[in-house]
Structure 1
Amino acid sequence: MIIDVIWARGHGNVKATHRNTIEITKDDYITERGDCIIACCADKAASDLDNDFKKLITSGYSLVLMIIVAGSSIDIVTGLGLSGLRLTDERRIIVRRSGYIDNATIMLLANKAAKDLNRDLINKARDSEPIEVILIGSELEQD
């Protein structure tokens, strides 16, 4: 099991209404159109993740947990890592309900998208609170 942590903050334009993805960006703003973005000003993008974490989640099938914390509010998203993940995006991290992979994708077949996240957490993000994102990668045993 390998853990990595991302620090970010919310923004007044956080909507978190997207049905398929969750995004965290290093950009210092969120536009009105960014309905999948839950945090900005992140200290890491996909390319900045811990090398051991990246190696684990791209070495075949792996379990990926994302724990999102804002103040006393928390939510947990689960999904899969896969050998096709590129993890080269220098601005964004994206969690997807689908199997689509691009340079920012860090998790596939997630159990939640932005619209499914705890609304208290999203309200805190909308109030620009600091957000801690804990990523946990674990190998899945294959038969």
Structure 2
Amino acid sequence: MRFEIQFSGHENIRSNHQKTIEITKESHLTPQGDCIVGVNASASCADLPRELKDKLKNSDSKITFSISVENYEFIIKGNGHQDLILTHEEDIVIRKSDFICPRTLAVKCDKASDLLPREMVELLRNPNTKGVFSITID
């Protein structure tokens, strides 16, 4: 199963958080949002299809995320969890930890936003840049 979310860049993208990656439906971003890699997302946790949420809520699910911007692709591996809430109306956060809140999409991920290639971050600092965040669960 695969689900894609479109998003845009923003001049305040920093992408230097060591534990999380976030995309948001919000259009504004302050420099303090250092885990955010995209704004104006086409979906949040609350918007995901029921079938996808059911798979995300399975602790045995292995999830592959990709962030694609122009010719770049960044791959993250993570895990589902039975306690995921998946109700946040604006945000999606994937985490290296096992912390769960309504914004959490996956836990125990192998990468965070600080590892995003700096060439991608530069592209994402342009509000005209478009990206795709994809979620794949086998």
TM range (shorter): over 0.9
Q: Paired residues, what number?
A: 137
Report the 3-state secondary structure (helix = DSSP H, G, I; strand = E; otherwise coil) of the residue aligned with 1:115.
helix
Range 82-91 or range 49-58, more displaced: 49-58
Equivalence for 1:121: 120
Runs (5+) with no aligned partner, structure 2: none
TM-score, reference length from structure 2: 0.96
Identity of aligned residues (%): 28
Q: Distance in 1 between matches of 2:43 and 2:61?
A: 21
Alignment TM-score, normalising by the size of structure 1: 0.93
Consecutive aligned runs of 4 or more in structure 1 exceeding 2 Å deviation: none
Question: After the TM superposition, which residues 71-82 of structure 1 pair with which residues of structure 2 at under 5 Å, given as runs?
Answer: 71-82=70-81
> Which residue is equivalent to 1:55?
54
The gaps in structure 1 that reach 5 residues or longer are: 139-143
Q: CA RMSD in A?
A: 0.9
Q: Which residue identity lines up with residue 125 of structure 1 in the other structure?
A: L
Q: Quote the residue 1:141 is aligned against.
A: none
The match for 1:108 is: 107
1:6-45 equivalences in 2 (<5 Å): 6-45=5-44
State the Cα deviation string for residues 103-142 of structure 1 (Å, max 9, x = none).
010110111111011221111111221011111123xxxx
- The aligned counterpart of 2:89 is 90
